[in-house]
Amino acid sequence: MNTAPVNAPPSEPSASPTLTALFWGFSSVGLSGFGGVLPFARRLLVEERQWITAETFNTQLGLCQFLPGPNVVNLAVIVGKRYQGWPGAIVAPLGLLAGPILIVLLLALLYDRYGALPLAQGLLRGMAAAGCGLLFAMAWRMGMAIPRKPVFWPFTVLTVTAMAFLRWPLPLVMIGGLLLSGGVAYWTLGQK
Amino acid sequence: MMVLELFLEFVCLSFVAFGGATAMLPEMHRVIVGHHHWLDDTTFTHLYAIAQAAPGPNVLVVTLIGWKVAGLLGALAATFGMCLPMSVLIYWLVDRWERFSGRRWQQAISLGVAPLAVGLIFSGATLMAQAADFRPGGWTLMLVTALLNLRYPSLHPLWLIAAGALMGLSSGL
């Protein structure tokens, strides 16, 4: 199961990265992006190292986005497994996370020590406000990318009502929402 | 015991984390701040701000929350709890995916989950703004950041965060 590359078409780049290469490759991906590293993952995997083709990247990413959980971590598992079996599937996500975790913990230490100072409080308030703005922008951009807005936007409104205002638990909202929204999607797919 | 509890909370969360860690903000807020009272509102917004300003995948906000609740072990427990279940599942599923890919129910879930993920991120933004309890200056900064980011998508978000930090330093917002 973990010897040959999975589903590799003949045109697939033949370079088979070692465990070390996987670790450092994904480390560089993890450390290069702020607020999401997916574009960097694509650049490294498809363009620079050519570990996988653009087409494979899209299909595998489809699976990563289909499942819950952090997409890039899932992607690292897939690429790691593809080339080095289960050790690769462990080493690649570790490489992705190790560097950023160290940095973030260092920041946490600084926060513990200096976070209560008025200067730091002002700084953090400013960063939080900008961060919130980015979140709203992201929600807006994703909302605009949704097909058939009149059909699907009501589900966005329902989700916001349930989460932000009624403060319902997420599992309940997701299961209910998926049944409704997925049901409507299933129906619209049959219409074509 | 706190570490184990933290691990289990994030394992549960990982199963509904459609849209990644960002979409989980409202639920993390509900569980961590509202239910367990492990953190207060201000700390929660600060941790999110720090995570945004650091390099790495979005999931690192989980690491920071774990750290603040239960130290180094907490940080690792939360991160692994969040990443492990789906990593194992995807390891098993990846070779079988081609068969499901393109089926009607599979497309329906992908299509149906998108508006929910948008709603989750919008809720996260709303809750963060509420939790941060901005004054008018903060609201203005938030609005301007959002508009700038939408108007100039090629401008790196880090500049906007840095600008926000400077404004916060100089004016007290």
- What is the predicted ipTM? 0.84
Question: Considering only A8-12, A50-54, A125-129, B82-86, which range has the smallest mean pLDDT?
Answer: A8-12
Question: What's the Cα-to-Cα distance from B87 to each of A71, A92, B18, rounded to whole Å?
Answer: 10, 11, 14
Type of residue numbered B48: Y
| Min distance A51 CA to chain B CA atoms (Å) | 17
pLDDT tens digits in sequence order for chain B, 173 residues long: 789 999 999 999 888 887 777 888 889 999 999 999 999 999 999 998 898 888 888 889 999 999 999 999 999 999 999 999 999 999 998 888 777 777 888 888 888 888 998 898 899 889 888 888 888 889 999 999 999 999 998 888 888 989 999 999 887 66
Phi, psi of A33 (to 5 degrees): -110, 145
Gap between the Cα atoms of B79 and B75, Å rounded: 6
Contact A135 B124 (CB under 8 A): yes
State the pLDDT at residue B17: 83
Query: Which carries the bigger pLDDT value, residue A37 or residue A27?
Result: A27
State the pLDDT at residue A3: 44
| Stretch A139-151: mean pLDDT | 88
For residue A10, pLDDT over 60 is answered with no
Question: Domains of chain B: which residue ranges?
Answer: 2-133, 134-173
Among residues A3, A1, A9, the alpha carbon closest in space to that of A59 is found at: A9
For residue A15, pLDDT over 80 is answered with no
| Min distance B93 CA to chain A CA atoms (Å) | 9
Query: Which carries the bigger pLDDT value, residue B12 or residue A58?
Result: B12
Contact B50 A104 (CB under 8 A): yes
State the pLDDT at residue A36: 65
Q: Which two tokens stand for residue B3?
A: 């570490």
Q: Where are the alpha helices (DSSP H) in chain B?
A: 2-14, 20-23, 25-28, 41-53, 60-93, 97-100, 104-132, 136-151, 157-171
Contact A70 B168 (CB under 8 A): no
What rounded mean pLDDT belongs to chain A? 85
Question: What's the Cα-to-Cα distance from B156 to each of A36, A45, A106, A137, rounded to whole Å?
Answer: 12, 22, 23, 13
Q: Is B71 an 8 Å CB contact of chain A?
A: no
State the pLDDT at residue A186: 93
CB burial of residue A52 (10 Å; 0-12, 13-18, 19+):
buried
Q: Where are the alpha helices (DSSP H) in A16-167?
A: 19-32, 38-42, 54-66, 71-114, 118-144, 149-160
Q: Which two tokens stand for residue B96?
A: 């079988």
State the pLDDT at residue A111: 92
